[in-house]
Amino acid sequence: MAGIVLDKLKKSYGGTEVLHGVNAEIADGEFVVIVGPSGCGKSTLLRMIAGLESVTEGEIRIGERVVNGLEPAQRDIAMVFQNYALYPHMSVRQNMAYGLKIRGLPKEEIDRRVEEAADILEIRDYLERKPRQLSGGQRQRVAMGRAIVRKPQVFLFDEPLSNLDAKLRVQMRLEIRRLQKRLGVTAVYVTHDQVEAMTLGDRLMVLNGGRSEQFGTPIELYERPQTTFVAGFIGSPAMNFLPATAEGGEVVLENGARLPGGTGAGRVRLGLRPEHLLADDGGPIRLQAILAEQLGASTLVHGTLEGTDSALVAALPGTRAVTEGEVLGFSVAPAQMHLFDGEGRRIG
């Protein structure tokens, strides 16, 4: 077992730099999720750890070893690919055994390990089938089986659930988490889905434009997002951002409404999570409704801040009918107000 250290990791293609120095220390046995929008460099980062991409600058250490110059097979890692990457011409058993066979393990040992993994993943019945005879979820299990028979120091997952339907995705998410805890192997998991990231990771790295915006536990990211990007990316429905001015312990909105709380002075952006807006008829935040989305357990009211064009969404518990143009009042606890400066960095 081993931790991973990324030290000022940079990657350039030709002249364009796509990763601008990423640092991270991943503890042994930790489950780290790298999350970000497409094109942010998250897959590249994972492939660099795997050894499928060369490192332009910086260092990757797995355990105590610097692995920059090592072939993927020498890094003691296993990878689960987005499209599973099962060898279509081999049976499930052969797929799982291939890496062990190449390492020259004795046949009995290979069989033992394959069957052990098959039992864990409950795919024993399909061992002799070809991948094309399996459903998406079964293929996913085989891909994971192929990773765990290797008994690697690190698991790498590259958006492994993106090809499954929503229901199966939730189920497999739980299974991946359980499996990783059971085996105690360090895991790095790449996804663009923030729900997946929040539920799976011990810690999350939010990657944007080749830079790590924040690296912390899911709750840290939710409660104290360090940038507007993280604030907007984590949490669903997404956080509201309103232009505002901070002065003397108060935040003044565009329409003149004053909210107590906040530090600093001058132009700021105020971030408010929809679920933190509390219905309060006399509250300072006035929302002019456009429409409501009834989700059953809660209702999302879409509208604008009264007197402005700034969009505002509020989540109300239960069901609530809203007519267009109706004005609703809300208040918010000072601790749940997030202030960001002009560069998008958190204030306070």
Partner 1 sequence: MNPALQAIVTIFIGVGGCVGYFWLSNQLLDKVLFPPRGPSAGRNINRANMIRPWLFLLPALAALGLYLAYPVVETLRLSLSERLPEGGYTWVGLENYRQMAAEPKFWEAMRNNMLWLIVVPAASTGFGLLAAQLTDRIGWGNIAKSLIFMPMAISFVGAAVIWKLVYDTRPAGQEQIGVLNAVWLTFDEGPVSFIVLKLLPALVLLICSALLVWGAWLLLRTVPALHARPGALALRGGLALAALWLGWALLSTIPPLLSARLPFGQPRTWLTIPFWNNFFLMAVLVWIQTGFAMVILSAALRGIPEETVEAAIVDGANPFQIFFRIKVPQIAGTIVVVWTTITIVVLKVFDIVFAMTNGQWQTQVLANYMYDKLFRTGDWGVGSAAAMVLMALVTPILVWNVWNARREMR
Partner 2 sequence: MSAFSITEPTRRQKWIAGILVALYALITVMPLVWIVMTGFKTGPDSIAYPPKVVFSPSLEGYVNLFTTQTRLTPEQIETLPPPETWYDRLVREREKTIVGPSRFGQRFLNSVVIGFGSTFLSVFLGTLAAYAFSRFKVPLKDDLLFFILSTRMMPPIAAAIPIFLMFRTLGLSDTRLGMILLYTAVNLSLAVWLLKGFIDEIPREYEEAALIDGYTRFQAFYKVVLPQAATGIASTAIFCLIFAWNEYAFAVLLTSGNAQTAPPFIPTIIGVGGLDWPAVAAGATLFLLPVMIFTIVLRKHLLRGITFGAVRK
Binding residues for partner 1 (CB under 8 A): 50-52, 71-74, 77-79, 81-90, 98-99, 102-103, 146
Residue for token digits 């192997």?
Answer: 185
Torsion from C-alpha of 178, 179, 183, 184, nearest 10 degrees? -50
Are the C-beta atoms of 92 and 126 separated by less than 8 Å? yes
Q: Which is nearer to partner 1, 36 or 51 (CB)?
A: 51
Q: Which is nearer to partner 2, 16 or 323 (CB)?
A: 16
Binding mask 140-179 for partner 2 (x = CB under 8 A): ----------------------------------------
Residues with Cβ within 8 Å of 311's Cβ and at least 6 positions away in sequence, in order, are 240, 302, 303, 304
Q: Which is nearer to partner 1, 47 or 169 (CB)?
A: 47
Q: Which is nearer to partner 1, 155 or 241 (CB)?
A: 155
Q: Which is nearer to partner 2, 56 or 331 (CB)?
A: 56
Q: Which of partner 2, partner 1, none lies near 89, with the C-beta cut-off 5 to 8 A by kind?
A: partner 1
User: At closest approach, how far in Å is the CB of 90 from partner 1?
Assistant: 8
For 90, which DSSP code?
A: S
Q: Which is nearer to partner 1, 74 or 217 (CB)?
A: 74
Helix (H, G, I), strand (E, B) or coil at 22: strand
Residue 247 CB-density burial (10 A; 0-12 exposed, 13-18 middle, 19+ buried): middle
Task: Enter the tokens of residue 209.
Answer: 């434009």
CA-CA distance, 338 to 158, in Å (whole number)?
Answer: 32
Q: Which residues pair with 266 in a beta bridge?
A: 246
Sheet containing 338-340: order of strands: 258-260, 250-253, 240-247, 266-272, 338-340, 346-347
Q: Which of partner 1, partner 2, none lies near 307, with the C-beta cut-off 5 to 8 A by kind?
A: none
Residue for token digits 């306070």?
Answer: 348
Q: Which is nearer to partner 1, 13 or 87 (CB)?
A: 87
Question: Quick check: 186 binds partner 2 (CB under 8 A)?
Answer: no
Residue for token digits 């690919």?
Answer: 81
Are the C-beta atoms of 338 and 332 separated by less than 8 Å? no
Residue for token digits 């300072």?
Answer: 284
User: At closest approach, how far in Å is the CB of 137 from partner 2?
Assistant: 24
Q: Which of partner 1, partner 2, none lies near 67, with the C-beta cut-off 5 to 8 A by kind?
A: none
User: At closest approach, how far in Å is the CB of 206 from partner 1?
Assistant: 26
User: At closest approach, how far in Å is the CB of 51 from partner 1?
Assistant: 8
Task: Enter the tokens of residue 19.
Answer: 């990763």
Q: Which of partner 1, partner 2, none lies near 53, with the C-beta cut-off 5 to 8 A by kind?
A: partner 2
Q: Which of residues 46-75 bind partner 2 (CB under 8 A)?
A: 47, 51-54, 72
Question: Quick check: 319 binds partner 2 (CB under 8 A)?
Answer: no
Q: Which of partner 2, partner 1, none lies near 43, with the C-beta cut-off 5 to 8 A by kind?
A: partner 2
Question: Quick check: 44 binds partner 2 (CB under 8 A)?
Answer: yes
Bridge pairing between strands 77-80 and 31-35: unpaired
User: At closest approach, how far in Å is the CB of 181 from partner 2?
Assistant: 30
For residue 127, give the nearest of 114, 140, 113, 108 by alpha carbon: 114
User: At closest approach, how far in Å is the CB of 10 from partner 2?
Assistant: 14
Q: Which of partner 1, partner 2, none lies near 79, with the C-beta cut-off 5 to 8 A by kind?
A: partner 1
Reported in sequence order, the residue ranges of 27-121 that DSSP labels E, i.e. its strands, are: 31-35, 57-62, 65-66, 77-80
Give contact residues for partner 2 (rule: CB under 8 A).
13-14, 43-44, 47, 51-54, 72
